[in-house]
Amino acid sequence: MDNMFLETTGFSTAKYRKQFGPANYNLRQEELLRTVLREDDRGSIIVCNGVSLERKSQALLQDFGRTHPVILVQRDLSSIHNYLGGPDLQRLKDMLSLTAPVLRACSNYEFYNISEIKTASTDALPDHPVAPAFLTLKRAQRTFLKFLSLITTPEHANSPGRMVIPPLEPGYPLADVAIERRKYTCAVQVSTEDILTEDANIQSLEVGSDAFEIVLDLSQKSQTADLMNDVSACMSKVRRSTVVPIIYHVLPTSSADGSRTLYLQHVYHGLRLAPEYATIDLSLDPRALADVIATRGTTRIIGHLHTDKAWDDHFWVTQYEMAEVTKALYTSFTLDPMKMYIIGIRIGYSVSPAMHNLAYEACGMPHEFIRIESPSLSSLKELVRKPNFGGSIVIQPFKMEVIALVDSLSQHARAIGAVNTVIPVRRRNQDGNLPSDLGIFQERNQSGPIQALYGDNTEWIGLRSCLGVMNIAIFNRTYEKAESLVAHFSRLAQSSVGTSSPNTPKGQPSFVILKSREDPWPEHLRQPTIIISCIPADPIDDRPAAHFTLPAQWMESATGGVVMETAYKTLNTPLMQQMVNEPKKLWTYMDGLDFIPEQAFAQFELFTGKRAPRRVMREEALRAWRDEQGNSNMEMVRRRLKAIDDQEP
């Protein structure tokens, strides 16, 4: 709005106010805001300077908010103080306290923008190039997009006429299965005070839980505005660090009118932050309950009644540790210990067994993940006869051969044309068909005769970020293999109707084959920004390693991009060294140890029906890694463990 004011009047807001007076300035602001809200009410993002909103402009925004999302973006006091050059801190705090109620009254949603501090280059990993400066806000962008996806999601998937931001993790098996439809779920309860401590590790707190519950205690001796800011900060801190849904819970107060009013104020404030779930005290009168439900937006409401003994009482804490609850389900034979596998020809280097076994232990599951080296799929045929077979990872060269053994394929496996994960189905529908995704998840962790096998491909987790890429160049050291790849994916592109996101471009992708490293980049294509190398970096069958690097003429993108090597048996590769020494420092490099946990998260969900303890698995992948001589690199592990805090949840 400030830029539009300058274009319309020829003056900045400050100069206009000084020259023509506050009354004239307020009138022009109101006229301009009214015009913009009327003419740009769809397909636009309107940014307002909240400080300059007078009463009539406030009323315009309140009216606009009845049919549109109006988002108040908040920042922490210290960041604003530093940005403004260090004005009097108390004066700034007083000013923000005065304006906050006005701005909240003009908006119907609120987003708390946590400041991102770019890691100094001296802390960078020597075996990874420094991330470009423009990626500093990538995590903030992801958190904000997640927030937008929640507030723009219609109540019904087919609701017409409303723009929808797609979810950030559509490829994960549990992404579309709501927790209230799963069995034996649990949430971790954490108070706002604990979340706001500097050493609060959200991912560690969340391990094994299906939801993260933020608990607000109104008995704190804090001002209402400060408590609301704390809740906003907590919501963003949790949302940026976990993928499980958030439950917002305000502890009920006494039945006195003033206490009930305070309680409802904070319930309504929480709904502005778009938690996936919020609780409501069922002892409220019916009208108050109806008002909360009417204003909940996309948040789902959980009713509760409190007993005399609060949930944070030490008695409950000692009785209901998450892992102990999970173990009780197995010791009571409600759930069964299962065995999962990874099958391939050469898999001694695989970190999957270590990742999965530690994840099971962290979640209190008595499962076992076993490595099986086999020259054929005959081992899998034997395993599926066992009553406690819980599923298997299948790696090359069996990913296409295993399709003949499964009875049904996920849409991801069909789209890719290969299977890397097999899970058992022990109950068919009455009509003989396999159950839906929900039905498949509800029978996880239960032994018995297997009636069918379901094939999925978790490599979709890596591919989903490439949805919408329409120009694909392929280089293979054997030209005929490149032609086979193009033919394979061209057929899949033509047959994969309905497997793409509604937000991806329509039409067929085009493929170009690069014959040699000396080829110039095709003139009709823009320089690549996504480069994926699947060339083995270690010797195979006495053949020397490829020592592959990228030619300079394929790396002339003005904005850089991402280079990823899918292998992780060898980390210190020529391509990695090329990226570290790249002079412009525009490229982000990733290797298989960055990628393999992402697949493992999805496979954990398929095997157990629970969200994976992501930080636990990422850390164990690093600790379990061994090079081609079987040696670990503890210095590399230490540095990369330190960098895990900056990774996405």
| 585 lies in the same domain as 473 | yes
Q: What is the pLDDT of residue 157?
A: 41
Domain that holds residue 352: 339-456
Do 252 and 271 lie in a common domain? yes
Tokens of 594: 């960055």
Q: What is the predicted pLDDT for the residue at 389?
A: 96
Kindly report the CATH number assigned to the domain that includes residue 70: 3.40.50.300
DSSP reduced 3-state for 291: helix
Q: Is 20 inside a domain boundary?
A: yes
End-to-end CA distance of the chain: 35
The verdict on residue 162 lying in a domain is no
Tell me if 555 is assigned to some domain: yes
Beta bridge partners of 494: none
CATH number of the domain that residue 231 is part of: 3.20.20.70
In total, how many domains does the chain have? 4
Q: Are residues 299 and 356 both part of a single domain?
A: no
Same domain, 448 and 537: no
Domain with residue 598: its CATH number is 3.40.50.720
Separation between Cα atoms, residue 563 and residue 532, nearest integer Å: 6
Q: Kindly give the residue spans of alpha helices, DSSP state H, lying in 132-243.
A: 138-151, 192-195, 202-206, 224-239
CA distance 298 to 150: 7
Sheet containing 300-304: give its strands across: 187-191, 211-216, 246-250, 277-281, 300-304
Specify if 629 maps to a domain. Answer: no
CB contact at 8 A, 519 and 552: no
Residues 595, 469 within the same domain = yes
Q: Are 44 and 148 in the same domain?
A: yes
Confirm whether 545 is domain-assigned: yes
Continuous H helices in 107-223: 138-151, 192-195, 202-206
Can you give the CATH number for the domain in which 370 is found?
3.40.50.10860
Is there a single domain that holds both residue 185 and residue 317? yes
* Strand 246-250 to 277-281 pairing: parallel
Same domain, yes or no, for 328 and 390? no
436 and 513 in a common domain: no
Q: Flag whether 398 is in a domain.
A: yes
Q: What are 266's two structure tokens?
A: 């904070």
Which of 306, 332, 358 is where one domain is finished? 332
Listed as ranges, residues in the chain with pLDDT below 70 are 51-52, 117-135, 153-171, 221-222, 254-257, 306-323, 437-438, 462-467, 492-493, 495-507, 539-542, 544, 646, 649
* 10 and 93, same domain (yes or no): yes
Count of beta carbons in the 10 Å neighbourhood of residue 351: 21
**Domain-embedded: residue 556:** yes
Structure tokens at 617: 């698995």
Indicate whether 550 and 535 sit together in one domain: yes
Q: Are residues 313 and 437 in the same domain?
A: no
Question: What pLDDT is stored for residue 580 in this prediction?
Answer: 87
Q: Which class for 649: exposed (0-12), middle (13-18), buried (19 or more C-beta within 10 A)?
A: buried
> Residue 378: what residue type?
S
Task: Identify whether 414 is part of a domain.
Answer: yes
